[in-house]
Structure 1
Amino acid sequence: MEMILIVLIGALAAVLANRNIAVFNDGLRPIVGEHIEGRLSRRDLGLTAFAMSFGLVIGFGIPFTLTAAIILVHSILLGTDIIGLMTPKNKWGTPVAAAVGGLYGAGLLIGLEGFVNMFEYLPINFLEEMEMIGAPVIVTFMAFPALAIAFQFSVKKGVITFLIAALVRQIAVWFNETGLLTIGGTEVVLNQEGMALIVGMVFLLIFAMNEKRDEDSSGVDLASMFSEKVKNIRKNMFVLAALGALIAAGTNAFIMAGDPISLTLLSEGQINDAGFAAAARAIGFIPLVASTAIATGVYSPVGFTLVFVVGFFVPNVWLALGLGFVVIILEVLLLSSIARFLDRYPGIRNSGENIRSAMTRLLEVALLIGGANAANAIAPGLGFFIIAGFYLLNEAAGRPVVRVAVGPVGAIAVGIIANILALIGLM
């Protein structure tokens, strides 16, 4: 079933990209829109897709996939963007895109299994140490609402939110240690990070909804301005829903996750926490996906990313398949209403980008710390030295490797170097 799911996801995602229906890379959607309007050739579109997505596949998607032994969805969907947009949109190009996309998905899954098995034959098996990369992410994730509030509203409000969230976390710890919370004689254990995250998100939504549009401003009715583009998305909603169903099922089968945070939690066996993390991320993506979809007529193959939430919380694959299909249908049907809501509350619309920025900043710090800890566990002393040097040289070179990937990539590199040194007798 795992192989069937991943092959179908790769094939269908490549077809959707090939037909200009949906692309995963947020930055590509406006460019695909330019191609649809006839202002960009197919060749230039394909080259642009390769330039924008290939580095993210190699430097972001693959490292996280390898460190957790679970496919980060970026690994497959950024690749299918490239495959779909670099093949011609004609009667033979679309089937080729489907075939190559399916093979690409299968290759990811087979390669992942082979990578995990390979560790057993290494002089230094560093697979267990690699799990340390995600450890800081789980704890620090609760801080992202406070950071988003600081970006959008004020540092003061961000600090207040952070302190209250930290206090709520410690109260949850105290309740767990004392065992005061019981239901029917059964002790209830609170997730301390989850409680802090909920408090932070409540503060963020309150601040955002209080930032209403200026009554003197005419505003922009996105739904009316781009009604034809919304109609184009609705024409393809069933094929979009089919892919959403497959991704929800793949998440439920624990073969993929939609972001590094939920992927890390899933690898630790914290499935409910992974679901809450995915839900928090989806809140930040609704304004971005909705506005770019309405403006360009190009959707995201994962929609508002709610299909991942479905995958984490439903009890079995078949229910995930059905609910994933329904969720994408509802998203597409509600696009116009969502656009009007975002026009009414510009604070919520603007919060999407701030949430994404806050998550990125948090991941940069947490994964650098986690990568350094993992590297030092693999090769004491040398690990810290290599990670620090890698980070500083990457900054000096203009960041050819995105910051968020420096920790995982560096830890993998240290593991490889340690094995080479062991083979020649220097470790």
Structure 2
Amino acid sequence: MDILQLVVIGALGAMATMLTNKGIAVFNDGLRPILPEYFDDHAISRQELAATSFAVSFGLVIGFGIPVSIGASILLIHSVLLMTDIIGTWTPNTKLGLALAGVLGAAWGIGLTLGLQFIVDLFAMLPVNFLDALGAVGNPIVVAFSLFPGIAVAYQHGFNKGALTAGLSTFVLVLVRQFGTFTLPGGQAVTISAEGMTLLTGMAFMLYFAIKVKGESTDNQNLVNIFAERVKKIKKNMILLSLTGGLVAAATSLTLIAGDPISLSLMDGGQFGEAALAAFARGIGFIPLVFSTAIVTGVYSPAGATFVFVVGILLQGNPIFAFILGALVMLIEISLLSGAAKGLDRFPGVREMGEHIRSAMNRVLEVALLIGGALASEQIAPGIGFFWVIGVYLLNRTAKKPLVDMAVGPVAAIALGIIVNILFLLNLWAPAA
């Protein structure tokens, strides 16, 4: 862990926390509509805002962001920016509170980065080292992510078109896996990414079907007109937001963070091209959500529509260029906020596609992480792992405060690894040969 990495992650934590403290940006989409009730309407107190932020974010930090990060040694951005949302709302809305927010946000970013490495090193010292097995949690994601366009098409346009998209994507996957490696005249071997080509095929069909949906509306145009002052507020803070977007891109280029579990697993496996494609598809899905909530609330996201992650992935090992280009991308996003929102009125299918992309990616992730957790658990405790994960998953459904489905697989695998070590110390468990 070099000083540059700590400076970048610390600066990101500080900036994101201060933006939340002043009501300029929050990462949690569910919290964004709440901020105007405090900053603009004064309908709730600072204490109520802080309590709401904690309620909607803390469980995702502990139950999702950190467990997914441990398996790959890369921080899932949720574990960083959801906590900066909490810190920013809990610190007072004063100059001293702003400074305190920056210090605590930087401390969280640096502490989490060092702490994750400490946890990884600690696992390696355990009598039964299950860290290698945890790597299996992300294995199904690598191929499963290329399936989500077919699922999104099915959600939006029905089973037949979804099955067609998924079927042709599968055909491309098999075809490229079989014939995707060849030798150039100079003797250099070239391998085409099967998952990348599969994803491109599915996305092409997804966009084609969405564009074919006819009709126009004035929904976004009306939103822009009604909330013109809140759009101006975002544009007034576009320099600060752009700097934060640049820091997100820089941290991604240093392989410190990833925007979602799909690209995280791909980055961890060195598949940066596929990770960039996955991040790009996710960005498309978040345009309608981020832009619409930003227009209505006057509050943006510190990661924007998440295209800054694509920049960071494509510029691996070049944090300075990633910072510059990431800031520029965020600047362009905010400049086009009104125009892009109005443009979506002309393509209702594309506007609606965003919600279906997010739903499809979440469902694919839930299944992939559950299967990955089961595979990892079976490696940790052969003959018991599948029983354990299925039991945890179903019992979680009955809990008063259940974990989100995406977190069950990783959390179950980590818990089983800890239990196995305790049993070993009690001479009640012997590792498989």
Q: What TM-score do the two structures reach when normalised by structure 2?
A: 0.95
Contact 2:196 2:273 in 1 (8 A): no
Give the superposition deviation at 1:219. Answer: 4.3
Counterpart of 1:249 in structure 2 is 250
Counterpart of 2:164 in structure 1 is 160
Kindly provide the CA deviation profile for residues 34-88 of structure 1, in whole angstroms up to 9, marking residues without a partner as x. 2233222221111100000000001110101111111111001000000001112
Deviates more, 1:125-134 or 1:83-92: 83-92
1:393 to 1:302, Cα distance in 2 relative to 1, 3 A? same
Counterpart of 1:110 in structure 2 is 114
CA distance in 1, matches of 2:170, 2:14: 45
Deviates more, 1:34-43 or 1:146-155: 34-43
Counterpart of 2:131 in structure 1 is 127
1:360 to 1:212, Cα distance in 2 relative to 1, 3 A? same
Counterpart of 2:84 in structure 1 is 80
* Residue ranges of structure 1 left out of the alignment (5+ in a row): none
Give the superposition deviation at 1:119. Answer: 2.1
Counterpart of 2:411 in structure 1 is 409
Counterpart of 2:142 in structure 1 is 138
Kindly provide the CA deviation profile for residues 266-294 of structure 1, in whole angstroms up to 9, marking residues without a partner as x. 11111221111111111101111111111
* Identical pairs, percent: 51
Match of 1:55 among 42, 55, 59: 59
Contact 2:220 2:344 in 1 (8 A): no
1:212 to 1:185, Cα distance in 2 relative to 1, 3 A? farther
Question: Could you say what secondary structure the match of 2:192 adopts?
Answer: coil
State the AA in 1 paired with 2:260: D
Kindly provide the CA deviation profile for residues 160-214 of structure 1, in whole angstroms up to 9, marking residues without a partner as x. 100011111122123225x2x7476644311111111111111111111122325
Question: Could you say what secondary structure the match of 1:92 adopts?
Answer: helix
Contact 2:308 2:326 in 1 (8 A): yes
Counterpart of 2:323 in structure 1 is 321
CA distance in 2, matches of 1:198, 1:298: 33
Counterpart of 1:419 in structure 2 is 421
1:14 aligns with 2:31: no
1:198 aligns with 2:200: yes
CA distance in 1, matches of 2:331, 2:39: 23
Kindly provide the CA deviation profile for residues 306-354 of structure 1, in whole angstroms up to 9, marking residues without a partner as x. 1110001125111101101111111000001111111111211111111
State the AA in 2 paired with 1:28: L
State the AA in 1 paired with 2:145: F
Counterpart of 1:333 in structure 2 is 335
Match of 2:31 among 28, 32, 50: 28
The within-5 A match list for 1:186-335 is 186-214=188-216, 219-221=219-221, 222-314=223-315, 316-335=318-337
Question: Could you say what secondary structure the match of 1:304 adopts?
Answer: coil
Kindly provide the CA deviation profile for residues 84-140 of structure 1, in whole angstroms up to 9, marking residues without a partner as x. 011121121111111111111111011111111112321101111110000001111
1:406 to 1:183, Cα distance in 2 relative to 1, 3 A? farther
Contact 2:220 2:292 in 1 (8 A): no
CA distance in 2, matches of 1:152, 1:276: 21
* Residue ranges of structure 2 left out of the alignment (5+ in a row): none
CA distance in 1, matches of 2:225, 2:76: 36
Match of 2:101 among 92, 97, 101: 97
State the AA in 1 paired with 2:35: V
Contact 2:124 2:131 in 1 (8 A): no
Give the superposition deviation at 1:398. Answer: 5.0
Deviates more, 1:384-393 or 1:51-60: 384-393
CA distance in 2, matches of 1:352, 1:183: 43
Match of 2:349 among 347, 350, 354: 347
Question: Could you say what secondary structure the match of 1:28 adopts?
Answer: coil
Deviates more, 1:402-411 or 1:261-270: 261-270
State the AA in 1 paired with 2:85: D
The within-5 A match list for 1:372-383 is 372-383=374-385
CA distance in 2, matches of 1:371, 1:284: 26
1:88 to 1:406, Cα distance in 2 relative to 1, 3 A? same
Question: Could you say what secondary structure the match of 2:143 adopts?
Answer: helix
Deviates more, 1:394-403 or 1:352-361: 394-403
1:184 to 1:211, Cα distance in 2 relative to 1, 3 A? farther
Give the superposition deviation at 1:220. Answer: 4.6
CA distance in 2, matches of 1:175, 1:89: 60
1:385 aligns with 2:364: no
1:342 to 1:136, Cα distance in 2 relative to 1, 3 A? same
RMSD in angstroms over aligned alpha carbons? 1.4
State the AA in 2 paired with 1:321: F
1:182 to 1:399, Cα distance in 2 relative to 1, 3 A? farther
1:227 to 1:184, Cα distance in 2 relative to 1, 3 A? farther
Deviates more, 1:98-107 or 1:75-84: 98-107
CA distance in 1, matches of 2:29, 2:227: 18
Contact 2:266 2:275 in 1 (8 A): yes
CA distance in 1, matches of 2:400, 2:154: 27
Question: Could you say what secondary structure the match of 1:24 adopts?
Answer: coil
CA distance in 2, matches of 1:413, 1:384: 14
State the AA in 2 paired with 1:92: L
